[in-house]
Amino acid sequence: MSDTAGNGAVLVVGGGISGLTAALEAAEVGNDVFLVEKNAYFGGRVAQLNQYFPKLCPPTCGLEINFKRIKDNRKIRTYSLTTVKSISGGPGNFEVQLETAPRYINSNCTACGDCAQACSEEIDNAFNFGMNKIKAAYLPHEMAFPRRYVLAKDACSAASLAAIKSACKYNAVDLDMQPQTFTLKVSSIIWSTGWDPYDANKITNLNYNSSNAIITNMMMERLAADNGPTKGKIVRPGDNKEPASFAFVQCAGSRDENHLQHCSYICCMATFKHISYIRAQYPEAKIYVFYIDLRTPGKYEHFREKFMADPNITFIKGKVADIVAERDGGVTLTAENAVSGTKVHQKVDLCVLATGMEPALGDQGKALGVNMDGNGFVVSDAAKGMVSAGCAKAAVDVYTSGQSSTAAALKAIQIGR
Amino acid sequence: MKKVYGAYLCTGCGIGNVLDVDGLKDAASDAGIAMSEHACLCGADGRAFIEKDIAEKGVNTIVACACSPRVMQNEFNFGEQTITIRGNLREHVAWTAGEQKEDGSVDEFLQEMATDYVRMAVTRAQKTELPEPYKLETISKKILVMGGGIAGLTAANEAAKAGYEVTIVEKDGQLGGKALGWRKMFPTAYPYTDLENPTIQDMIAEVQANSRITVKTSCEVARIGGSPGQFNVTLKAAGASTEWDAPAKVTADQQDLINKGELEDPNKGLQKYTNLNPEGEIFGAVVLATGWKPADVSQYDHLGYGKLTNVVTNAEFEKLAKNGKVPARVAFVQSPGGKDNDKDFPYCNSVTSMVALKQANYVVEDNPVDGQAYILYQHMRTPGNAEFFYKGMQAKDGVFMTKAAVTKVAASGSGLVVDVEDNLLGEDIQLEVDMVVLAAGMVPTTATDNVINLAYRQGPAFLDLDLFDGYADSHFICFPYETRRTGIYNCGGVRKAETMEETIDDATGAALKAIQCIESANRGVAVHPRSGDQTYPDFFFSRCTQCKRCTEECPFGALDDDEKGTPLPNPTRCRRCGTCMGACPERIINFADYSIDMIGSMVKAIEVPDDDEEKLRVIVFVCENDAYPAIDMSGMHRNKINRLVRFLPVRCLGSMNMVWIKDAMSAGIDGALLLGCKYGDDYQCHFVKGSEIASRRMENIGETLGSLGLEPERCGVREIAISDYDKIPAIIDEFVEEIVAMGPNPFKGF
């Protein structure tokens, strides 16, 4: 395939599980596919998950086989650190301008890690939501694909940069790397730009920033992961206390007029998954789940059932009105129990906000002429040559993302035929 | 291809620092391929170094002892006509070495480990061949769609739009399925608040107007024989019995009894399953969209279905609503558990919450003055954008909703009374209503019937669907379209209870998979998960003893058999896991680049010291899908690995042939361990059954070893997940310690 494959070629924007799926499914039919990802690695949100519900298996298992399919397939070309700048033309003959941000490490990198050893600065580890630090020359995570380091050049002193450059035996450190723009000619575009965790700071009544004892559900994934900031030990950030009690605040920012109006689909299952993480480490811990509805439909109902009988888990139907930091490092939640009509005050050691999915493309999509609905999700519009997949299209789980991404691949192929 | 070899050693990334490079080169030469070294084989210069030999010496079979085969694929790809074998000296050796010795000397044990990996890579190169893809003589690119409801219509339309010929087979006299009976549809577009008029007639018209689509109503599939690219399909009038109906599964033991006249043949009067109907239609792939049936809800005594008039299911209520005005006071019961549990009816998913909302709207629409719709739920399930419709309905006059335990429905005069406890109203109440609607689930047709009617050795239906509540699935989560029958892709109600919007996506995806399967068969390559693999199992039939193990164990039903029990391969059904190869006691099943002889020879390439009790050897057969990457990650973390072990990757543990264990034991290797995926209900094996089958085989080999006077514990199986990388050193150490405690293999030196 060439850089300007043109006829029948598909551009997939976003390299999470949906984009990977869409790209692979189209390429394995025989189409040329360009897959671009804004992060330095592919895998998106699922790469950050410790386990999938309901099987409690590692997402890297599915990612590994998808990466293998990509490496074995000459029809796919991948671009990390790359974003779409502008789009012209129409279905069948799009011209897309893209930009690749400098990685400061070129393709000579063997991932030997000598640069990280030589680097003296540390930066917040974005992969772990800032819960720990990593060297400013880093591999985003163990399973990162492509397996190439990244250099946060701005975080490093001149001396450190010099040390990093000289530590590399393979001439892979390129401090003069510039943003690179390039053009692709494609027949269709799949938007699989996924989601961001809703910003917990915006839910002012939950006082996210007031205490280390309030974390988000995505932070919980990293805390529970063996390759996370605590090597899988679920402890309270800041003081590393082993919590004796936990609260889950469901619909934190979802199903809420003031925040995300949609239901984020996965948070109830995620909470039950988190309960399974907690139970593996703290068999006796008290767990309180504040919810509006427990949305664990279909197959997930079996998953919920396993925990409903646990005598140390209390389910309270009621929206949390307020969270207050306590002196001992814990927090107290206030809610009204909708069934009993009574007010509940519950103090816990660690509180998890089940924050939802905010579509990640945002205003940038509008600027690029993408058809977006009132919630910021991308509307599939085959007539315009653009289709959406996974959580760019609507809040869904991984399984449903697989379906919609495979569907998007066919819609994209049709446009090119 | 006449192989011209070249072996290359990379000394970068620490390999040259901890190993004796000349020793490794000598080992390669001794094994038959001269080896040269380079400081950075993956760089432009290193690649040029190899390319020079390709150009000047005609090298076409390369041994690259460097980093893991999971990385630098492009750098070590020298074109389709060149074989490259990778020896993993970085992640598996150099990066597991720990700190270098202060005097710079090489650790003897580490060197022996690396030397063995060099010999194994050389051996692999000597034993491998370039694959030649399996091509069908003729291929059909036509797609069969079973079922003419929303899912089937969509799949047909979408496949046709991509240029493929499609035939839809529908049991009923007309297309449309369940949607024909709908009065309204759920909202499908922003702001997702208003019900929409059904579009089913438009969908039918579009299908009927498309010249690429053939519609056969009042028709069903009698049987599907053959394989992807050339499925031989017999169609019949719906409900008819024919000699081409799909035969029931008959096991080898049952067949014996039938032959002796001790058991009645369930397939009497039917064509043998291997017979292809000369009048059958040939299709390339199948989309299964046979949908669902309304669940029976008569077992919930307290709800009165079947006993009380005017207690109806949601499906029955929809019919009423379609045909006329619905009653004014209606209670919708979403959960049957009363005070015992808060589960929905089975097979509901999140569809029945939406159905209740839609039908509540009929109540207030048809009865503008006195309409009262009560939705009694435990959990309203309106995920994603469905939430908007829920919210809109909450604001409707005449629609009341509460969390509630419905404990009893009883007759009261001409109406019904519903006992509603644990609700949001502060007290238990009784609702007087005209009608009660139960949120019955949607039972997939695959839960009760064979549906796909395959004429396969392993029987006419999908296997083990009880793991998925009867839904046609094999790989819940990552790969929704995978089933255990290649070339057959599911969508709609057979997958899960779905809304129309979801069904349309699902069916479009199924159409893509059908197309992809056809195009893959056309190229002679495998479909998921070994997509693009050009190899396939090759049988040396003259030595087959008709033991039928391969036929029975294939997770994908790829093998049929003849009267005698000799396997009849169907390569386009095959996923290339090698389970057949592992099953074969005669060792007659092999792939071009993966064979019994190759792996056995690699085992024998390990040098086993005869008389050094410090140098026991343990071979670890590693599943290349999850366990091998985990070992790589362990290396990346610079975890030390026990230096007595040798890792040998296999396609899937299902391909583990027990002769390799015997090879290892007779070569004096002291222990053998299998590392593979978790099995059981939540199996992680990409080939569904591989690790489970391997464990079973290992139990049997244990007995064999016992009969030879060897401890069965010398062989073990461990299940690991890909994320268990930091646990691997301990798992390995523990096994090695057990072997050390047992002492050397007594066959050593023989």
- Render pLDDT for A217-249 as a digit per residue (tens, 0 to 9): 999 999 999 999 999 999 999 999 999 999 999
What's residue B417's pLDDT? 98
The domain segmentation of chain A, as residue ranges, is 10-101+179-194+360-416, 114-167, 198-356
Report the 10 Å Cβ neighbour count for B196: 12
Lowest mean pLDDT among A381-395, B433-447, B692-706: B692-706
Question: Contact at 8 Å (CB) between B656 and B674?
Answer: yes
Instruction: Evaluate whether A10-101+179-194+360-416 and A198-356 have a shared fold.
Output: yes
- Give the closest-approach CA distance of A412 to chain B in angstroms: 10
| A-contacting residues in B 312-351 (Cβ below 8 Å) | 341-344, 347-350
| A-contacting residues in B 108-147 (Cβ below 8 Å) | none
Structurally, at CATH architecture level, domain A198-356 sits in 3-Layer(bba) Sandwich (3.50)
Inter-chain contact A261–B341, Cβ cutoff 8 Å?
no
Per-residue pLDDT reduced to its tens digit, B168-220: 999 999 999 999 999 999 999 999 999 999 999 999 999 999 999 999 999 99
What's residue B142's pLDDT? 98
Per-residue pLDDT reduced to its tens digit, B392-413: 999 999 999 999 999 999 999 9
Is residue B103 pLDDT above 90, yes or no?
Answer: no
Buried (b) or exposed (e) across A348-383, using 16+ Cβ within 10 A?
A: bbbbbbbbbbbbbbeeebeebebebbebbbbbbebe
Return the CATH superfamily for domain A10-101+179-194+360-416: FAD/NAD(P)-binding domain (3.50.50.60)
Nearest to B380 among A30, A226, A293 (CB): A293
Residues ≥6 apart with Cβ < 8 Å to B59: B4, B5, B6, B50, B53, B82
Phi, psi of A144 (to 5 degrees): -55, 135
What's residue B386's pLDDT? 97
> For residue A17, what is the nearest residue in chain B, using CA coordinates?
B478
Chain A residues whose CB is inside 8 A of the B161 CB are 414
Residues ≥6 apart with Cβ < 8 Å to B427: none
Nearest to B496 among A50, A263, A298 (CB): A298
Inter-chain contact A406–B513, Cβ cutoff 8 Å?
yes
Per-residue pLDDT reduced to its tens digit, B116-158: 999 999 999 999 999 999 999 999 999 999 999 999 999 999 9
Nearest to B162 among A293, A317, A410 (CB): A410
Q: What distances in angstroms separate CA B119 from CA B6, B96, B263, B660, B720, one per listed residue?
A: 14, 19, 56, 17, 27
Q: What percent of chain B has pLDDT over 90?
A: 94
Question: Contact at 8 Å (CB) between B295 and B443?
Answer: yes
Inter-chain contact B682–A227, Cβ cutoff 8 Å?
no
| Span between the terminal Cα atoms of chain B, in Å | 37
Chain A residues whose CB is inside 8 A of the B403 CB are 317, 338-339
Residues ≥6 apart with Cβ < 8 Å to A122: A133, A134, A135, A136
Q: What percent of chain B has pLDDT over 70?
A: 100
**Structure confidence at residue B418 as a pLDDT band (50, 70, 90):** very high
DSSP H or E run through B281? strand B281-283
> For residue A293, what is the nearest residue in chain B, using CA coordinates?
B379
Domains, chain B, ranges and CATH?
1-130 (3.40.50), 143-293+445-523 (3.50.50.60), 296-440 (3.50.50.60), 538-590 (3.30.70.20), 594-750 (3.40.50)
Question: Contact at 8 Å (CB) between A125 and A417?
Answer: no
**Structure confidence at residue B750 as a pLDDT band (50, 70, 90):** low
Chain A residues whose CB is inside 8 A of the B67 CB are 110
Chain A residues whose CB is inside 8 A of the B476 CB are 55, 299, 399
Chain B residues whose CB is inside 8 A of the A52 CB are 477-478
Q: Is B722's Cβ below 8 Å from some Cβ in A?
A: yes
The first and second tokens of residue B231, run together, are 């499925």
Using a 10 angstrom Cβ sphere, with 0-12 exposed, 13-18 middle and 19 or more buried, the burial of residue A272 is: buried
DSSP H or E run through B7? strand B5-10
- Give the closest-approach CA distance of A327 to chain B in angstroms: 35
Question: SS3 sequence, B400-451?
Answer: EEEECEEEEEEEECCEEEEEEECCCCCCCEEEEECEEEECCCEEEHHHHCCC
Spans of chain A below 50 pLDDT = none
Using a 10 angstrom Cβ sphere, with 0-12 exposed, 13-18 middle and 19 or more buried, the burial of residue A72 is: middle
Q: Give me the mean pLDDT over the B558-580 stretch.
A: 96
DSSP H or E run through B650? strand B645-650
Inter-chain contact B349–A112, Cβ cutoff 8 Å?
no
Q: Is B509's Cβ below 8 Å from some Cβ in A?
A: yes
| A-contacting residues in B 679-718 (Cβ below 8 Å) | 682, 684, 686
Give residue A90's identity as a one-letter amino acid code. Answer: G
What distance lies between CA B668 and its chain's CA centroid? 38
What phi-psi label fits residue B500: left (phi over 0), alpha (psi between -120 and 50 degrees) or beta?
alpha
| Span between the terminal Cα atoms of chain A, in Å | 17
Inter-chain contact B478–A398, Cβ cutoff 8 Å?
yes
d(CA B469, CA B394): 33
Per-residue pLDDT reduced to its tens digit, B1-44: 899 999 999 999 999 999 999 999 999 999 999 999 999 999 99
Question: Contact at 8 Å (CB) between A369 and A169?
Answer: no
d(CA B625, CA B652): 7
Residue that the structure tokens 């438009």 belong to? B202
> For residue B389, what is the nearest residue in chain A, using CA coordinates?
A262
Q: What distances in angstroms separate CA A414 from CA A261, B160, B502, one per listed residue?
A: 33, 9, 20
Inter-chain contact B506–A403, Cβ cutoff 8 Å?
yes
Q: Is residue B357 classed as helix, strand or coil in its secondary structure?
A: helix
Chain B residues whose CB is inside 8 A of the A62 CB are 477-479
Phi, psi of B395 (to 5 degrees): -90, -5
Is residue B426 pLDDT above 90, yes or no?
Answer: no
Q: Is B678's Cβ below 8 Å from some Cβ in A?
A: yes
Q: What is the CA radius of gyration of chain A?
A: 22
Q: Best residue in A107, A168, A293, A396 to probe B by mutation, most B CBs within 10 Å?
A: A293
Q: Is B201's Cβ below 8 Å from some Cβ in A?
A: no
What's residue B271's pLDDT? 97
DSSP 8-state assignment for residue A379: P
Question: Contact at 8 Å (CB) between A62 and A142?
Answer: no
Per-residue pLDDT reduced to its tens digit, A126-175: 999 999 999 999 999 989 999 999 999 999 999 999 999 999 999 999 99
Q: Is residue B253 classed as helix, strand or coil in its secondary structure?
A: helix
What's residue A1's pLDDT? 59
Is residue B749 pLDDT above 90, yes or no?
Answer: no
The tally of CA atoms less than 13 A away on the side-chain side of residue B658 is 20
